[in-house]
Amino acid sequence: MAISEQTIERMRELAGLYPKSRSALLPMLHLVQSEQGEVTAEGIATCAKVLGLSPAEVTGVATFYTMYKRKPVGKHHIGVCTNTLCSVLGGDAVYDALSEHLGVGHNEPTADGGFSLERIECQAACTHAPVMTVDWEFMDDVTPASAIDVVERLARGERVESTRGPAIRDFQSTELSLAFPDDGLAHEGNSVDEKMLAGLRYAKEHNMSAPTAGQES
């Protein structure tokens, strides 16, 4: 699928937002994925042309960051954290259950293109381990059963609420939000909960505070 003229124009819009246009490359690659479902050779060449870079420079970025995919992603991207804390608390079991249920392995799409599964090193959400993301939206404190339930509901076309953030849309819609974050969804869903605030509450109750800059320990 060719990069549309509308997308090329939005690439130019992104390039104009930064003092140095090459700083727009990261959101620009998300924009490519929002249209093509992956970062294609054509997408790389188009980014390079708009930014005045070589295709090699763009490829270096696209292959460095794991959020950029070089082969088609399913309608929904499922990421399961299997780093230390999530793994100890069941992340490996969640990944194995989903792998068996979907019939795919790491970075593979299902035969019908409905889902892709990825083993992720860290989701930066250890408070709610084990954590799974669906199209980069958090699903906290998951179990093998709850993870499969989410996938089954999405397969039936049901509305699925993320734990923190908006309802699940699809991979390409979320990629567009990563390119242009002002999508009107910032205030949907919960951003924090009691579990995330436990440390702050304890510190206040015990009159604890962090040292200021330059203060000796």
**For 49-67, how does the pLDDT look when each residue is reduced to its tens digit (9 = 90+)?**
999 999 999 999 999 999 9
Q: How far apart are CA 183 and CA 6, in angstroms?
A: 18
Q: How many helices (H) and strands (E) in the chain?
A: 9, 5
Domain locations along the chain: 5-64, 76-179
Q: Which class would CATH give 5-64?
A: mainly alpha
Q: How far apart are CA 92 and CA 143, in angstroms?
A: 10
What number of CA atoms fall less than 13 Å from residue 210's CA on the CB side?
Answer: 4
**For 160-197, how does the pLDDT look when each residue is reduced to its tens digit (9 = 90+)?**
999 988 999 999 999 999 999 999 998 888 877 888 88
Q: How far apart are CA 46 and CA 52, in angstroms?
A: 10
CATH (residue range 76-179): 3.40.30.10
pTM for this one?
A: 0.89
C-alpha separations of 50 from 70, 80, 135, 170 in Å:
20, 35, 27, 27
